Chains A and B, each alone.
Chain A
Amino acid sequence: MSSKRKETDLTWQDIDIGCVITSPGNAAQYKTGDWRSERAVWNKDRCIKCGICSIYCPEGCVNQDSEGYFEADLYYCKGCGICARECWTQAIEMVPEE
């Protein structure tokens, strides 16, 4: 069964037995980033690359870039603001989405 198809397209023959899901972590296709009204933005001058933001993100969408600074994957970022609140050096700002 293709996990990329929306559930409204699935016929009863498409469904695997017992509705088992065989693609681990395929929830990652769902864009929770659409939920937010503000997003987390890092100030690289203040970021000390400690990684506490990435630990505290409930989505687990804060990752390091090639230089080691942290940034949120905006596909998932719900804009909760935990990272901004917890950052030791207040390097993260919550910026409203339009």
Chain B
Amino acid sequence: MESFAIYVPRLLPRKDFFAPGHRACIGCAEALAVRLVAKALGREVIISNATGCMEIVSSPFPTTSWRVPWIHTLFENAAAVGSGIEAALKILNKKGVRTKMPKVVAMGGDGATSDIGLQALSGAWERGHDLLYVCFDNEAYMNTGIQRSSATPFGASTTTSPAGKLSIGQTRWKKNMPAIAAAHDIPYVATACPSYPFDLIDKVNKAVATAGPAYLHVLSPCPTGWRYPPDLSIRMGRLAVETGVFPIYEVENGKYKLNFDFPQLRPVRDYLAQQGRFRHLPEEEIERIQEGVNREYEKLKKKLEA
């Protein structure tokens, strides 16, 4: 994305490849993210989807929201199924059975990506498949009713990391999936958020054009699980970025680039105060979170210079 943002919605492709009629919650920013990613991917694509919110809301038999070829099998294997599709397309083209190479895209939530599916994803990265993996991160196992994942942020209350008399909720810091992706030395890694739709679409285009593995980590605010009114989904994503909780950056062939930086990050409490999942946090935990965010942001900035 250029340093100046041109908001020209009418230059975006009109067609949607993710049809309305899907059963996502009212105000679901993950559904919005999927819709925008599908719009950017276009027609020449084959999608391998993991079990999760987006898979469930988009495919209640006998209906589907997908207007592109799409396969769902299990929870932890979107990257492995994608690897198989990619290999098949390569050999079938070589043998002259197929003449086109649609892009293979694997999609999964944060649970499917950083927990149960991490092995398959690491394997696919190591083998270097021409595969784009998009993680739609709503920061918990939302489809099964808001259970914690390794992507759940510190201090968030979920049903399996509930705030209580003896607990402040999640006591581990969010697993850094983009860093894990970058550690595999894949050519393109980026974070994005549907609150910044043009940046997201730009990155999808870049990832598709990448020969080899690419990873997009998309923060997907969830009104149901994060507990805020549905109309604030876009605002929530913006706050995550403006407070430094979720920095928007790219790693192209190992080189880090921060897409949106701010002269001054907003205090983290502006973000936490808006969400019911953080409502229980005492002042000292809010400060601990602020320190953590600052620390991680500094770590990221150091990588820019490297």
- The reply on A45 being an interface residue by CB < 8 A is no
Inter-chain CA distance A1–B61, complex, in Å, is: 12
Q: How far is the CA of A7 from the CA of B64 in the complex (A)?
A: 13
Q: Mark A12-54, 1 if CB is under 8 A from B, else 0.
A: 0001000101011111111110011000000000000011101
From the candidates B18, B61, B232, name the one contacting A85 in the complex (CB within 8 A): B232
Report the tally of A-B residue pairs with Cβ distances under 8 A.
118
Q: Whole-angstrom distance between the alpha carbons of A51 and B68 in the complex?
A: 25
Interface residue from B16, B63, B65, B197 paired with A3 (Cβ < 8 Å): B63
Residue pair B28, A27 in contact (C-beta under 8 Å): no
B contact residues around A52 at 8 Å (CB): 7, 9
Give the shortest distance, in Å, between B224 (CB) and chain A (any CB): 12
Contact B62 A3, beta carbon cutoff 8 Å: yes
Contacts of A84 in B (CB 8 A): 231
What count of chain A residues pass the 8 Å CB interface test? 42
State A23–B26 Cα separation when bound (angstroms): 25
Give the shortest distance, in Å, between B157 (CB) and chain A (any CB): 23
Closest Cβ of chain A: how far from B35's Cβ, in Å? 5
Cβ contacts B228-270/A at 8 Å (1 or 0 each): 0111111100000000000000000000000000000000000
Q: Which of B26, B32, B64 sits near A27, CB closer than 8 Å?
A: B64
A57 at the interface (CB under 8 A from B): yes
- Chain B interface extent, by class: 35 or more
Chain B residues 54 to 111 lying within 8 A of chain A, measured CB to CB, are 58-68
CB-contact partner of A76 in B20, B233, B234, under 8 A: B20
* Minimal beta-carbon separation of B16 from chain A (angstroms): 5
Contacts of B24 in A (CB 8 A): 58
Asked if B233 and A82 sit within 8 Å, CB to CB, the answer is yes
Asked whether, in the complex, the Cβ of A80 is within 8 Å of the Cβ of B16, the reply is: no
Contact, CB under 8 Å: B234 / A86:
yes
- Whether, in the assembled complex, B177 has its beta carbon less than 8 Å from a beta carbon of chain A, the answer is no
A24:B20 contact, CB within 8 angstroms: no
Partner of B64, one of A15, A25, A50, A60: A25
- B197:A56 contact, CB within 8 angstroms: yes
- Complex-state Cα separation, A84 to B108, whole angstroms: 30
Which residues in chain B, 7-21, are within 8 Å of chain A measured between CB atoms? 7, 9-10, 12, 16, 18-21
List, in ascending order, chain B residues with CB within 8 A of A19's CB.
61-62
Closest A residue to B64 by beta carbon equals A21
CB pair B29 A58 closer than 8 Å: yes
Decide if B32 touches A56 in the complex (CB within 8 Å). Answer: yes
Of B23, B28, B62, most buried by chain A (CB within 10 Å of CB) is: B62
B181 interfacial by beta-carbon distance below 8 Å = no
CA distance A51 to B198 in the complex (A): 13
Chain A residues with CB under 8 Å of B21's CB are 25, 27-32, 76
Q: Which A-B residue pairs are the 5 nearest by beta carbons?
A: A81-B231, A51-B9, A80-B27, A25-B19, A27-B21
Return 7 A-B CB contacts under 8 Å, by A number.
A1-B62, A32-B22, A57-B32, A58-B28, A58-B32, A73-B20, A94-B231
Which residue numbers of B lie inside 8 Å of A, CB to CB?
A: 7, 9-10, 12, 16, 18-24, 26-29, 31-32, 35-36, 58-68, 194, 197, 229-235
